[in-house]
Structure 1
Amino acid sequence: MNERSVQHSTFVIERQYEASPEQVFAAWADPSAKAQWFPKAEVFEFRVGGREFNHGGPPGGPIYTFDARYEDIVPDKRIVYSYVMDMDERRISASVVTVEFQRTETGTRLLYTEQGAFLDGLDAPEQREHGTKALLDKLGAVL
């Protein structure tokens, strides 16, 4: 029998982008724009109560599933969503994310806060933070 465990963690990532909050928000809200820096969604319903869903993985490797629900959206200011992540048929985490867009003199300060429950040693907060930083860096390159 596998040992069951949960590790709770919160991490915050800050990024500065030389683009307006409207442009950065649109990179999250528009499915074709988001697909340039985030795995392409099979379902993309950007509205409160809407769902975002995708799955995939490396050839011969495990299949990862991202299944999110939008909890709160304030255009150009804030996005709050909850999501679960599965690896093959096993749930590896459940999280709540808040993305904040703040206007600065040179563009936008983005604050990404994730509060997660990482399950059964199948995922770790450090891995998730590392992967999220890489995605936000890719967003910066696209902007």
Structure 2
Amino acid sequence: MSVTHATFVVERVYPATPERVFNAWADPEFKARWFAGPDDWENSPLSLDFRVGGEESSSGGPKGGPVHTMRGRYQDIVPNERIVSSYEMYMDDQRISVSLATVELTPKGDGTLLTYTEQGAFLDGLDQPKYREEGTAELLDALGAALSSENATA
């Protein structure tokens, strides 16, 4: 039994207003477009109750397993500025980490600077901070692609 504590920060600048970026986290249909595992994974539908105290869950994994599941709760929401959530990650039925995640949105020129900070406890060597940081960066890149796609169709 072991625990590795880690904090990491990932930043992205998006060509969208803070309101649009915030909505990408708050709107279940929009979030489902970018908040998913790799293309070759089987993903379950996203469950999202975006309010303080509300819960979120999603799961997926490569065909044949293992299944990765995220279960979270929103702790603080300041519209268009900040989202704080806590979440657990599971691999099949085993909890592999518990984290506190903060999303901060700051106007930057005609766009938005998103600063994502995660403080995690990674359990029993089943997950590593560097893998979570890489996965988070990929999700934030997918968010950027979804925002760009929305721009192209608007």
Q: Aligning the two structures, in what range does the TM-score lie when normalised by the shorter sequence?
A: over 0.9
Q: Deviations over 1:2-38 (max 9, x none)?
A: xx10000000001000100000000000000001100
Aligned counterpart, 2:14: 17
Aligned counterpart, 2:39: none
Larger helix percent? 2
Structure 2 length-normalised TM: 0.88
Does residue 101 of structure 1 match 2:105? yes
Q: Gaps spanning 5+ residues in structure 1: where? A: none
SS in structure 2 at match of 1:62: coil
- Shift in Å, 1:41: 4.6
| Match of residue 91, structure 1, among 90, 95, 99 | 95
Q: Deviations over 1:64-93 (max 9, x none)?
A: 110000000000000000000000111100
Aligned counterpart, 1:28: 25
Give the root-mean-square deviation of aligned CA atoms: 0.9
Aligned counterpart, 1:114: 118
Structure 2: how far apart are the matches of 1:109 and 1:92?
Answer: 30
How many residues matched? 140
| Match of residue 54, structure 2, among 42, 50, 56 | 50
Structure 1 length-normalised TM: 0.95
Q: Gaps spanning 5+ residues in structure 2: where? A: 37-43, 148-154
